Amino acid sequence: MPLLVNIRNLEKESARLEGELPVADFAPDFKDELLRFVEPLSYELEVDRQGTELTVVGKLWTELECDCGRCLQTYRQELLVDEFAALVPLEGEDAVVVKDDFADLTPYLREDTFLALPTNPLCTPDCRGLVPKAPDRDLRPGDGASDGPAAGVSPWDALKKLKL
C-alpha cells in the first residue's frame, strides 16, 4: 500500500506520519547485483501544506544486504536518510497524483532512498579484495616438482622466447 496523505486535512493542520512501507510498494522493480532491500522502509515524516505545495520533512531508514564490490563478501548495512525533505507540488505539470483527496508520497520517498544507496558497497573501508590465487608450481623437466614457485619466472617469459 502506498504512502497516502489526505490533503484536505492538511488545510487545518500539519500531519505527522510514522510507519513502514513494504519493499514491494516502494521498490517493486529494483534490481541491483550488489544490493538488496531486506527490511521495509521506515519513516517519520511531518507534512504541511503551503498554498499549492506540500512540504515533507523527516527521516527514512531501512536495512540493506550488500555484496562487497571488492571481495564479494555479503554483509548488512543500514541505509539512513536523516534529513529527508521534499517540496511536493499540487498543481502544474509536476503535480503529485491526487485521488479522492489523497496524495501519494511514495515516489518522493523512493527517489531519495535510491539516491542514498551506496554506489560501490564495501564490507570495510580498507577491504583488500579477493585473496590472490596461489601461483602454479614450476615443473621443469629433470627437476621434478619444485617446492615452491620459481623465483624470477614470469608468465611472459614464454612469449619473449618467440621469434617472429
Res 139: pLDDT: 52
pLDDT in tens, 77-116: 999 999 999 999 998 888 888 888 899 999 999 999 999 9
Q: What is the pLDDT of residue 38?
A: 93
pLDDT tens readout for residues 27-44: 888 999 899 999 999 999
Q: What is the mean pLDDT of the chain?
A: 86
The structure's pTM equals 0.72
How would you class 35 by CB atoms within 10 Å of its CB: exposed for 0-12, middle for 13-18, buried for 19 or more?
middle
Are 79 and 116 contacting, i.e. CB atoms less than 8 angstroms apart?
yes
What is the per-residue pLDDT for 155? 78
Residue 111 parent element (H or E): helix 106-115
* pLDDT band at residue 133 using 50, 70 and 90 as cut-offs: confident
pLDDT at 142: 52
Q: Where are the beta strands (DSSP E) in 4-163?
A: 4-6, 15-21, 35-37, 41-50, 53-67, 74-89, 98-99, 102-104, 139-140, 144-145
Instruction: Give pLDDT tens digits for 64-74.
Output: 999 999 999 99
pLDDT value at residue 135: 64
Does the pLDDT at position 143 exceed 90? no
Higher pLDDT, 146 or 153: 153
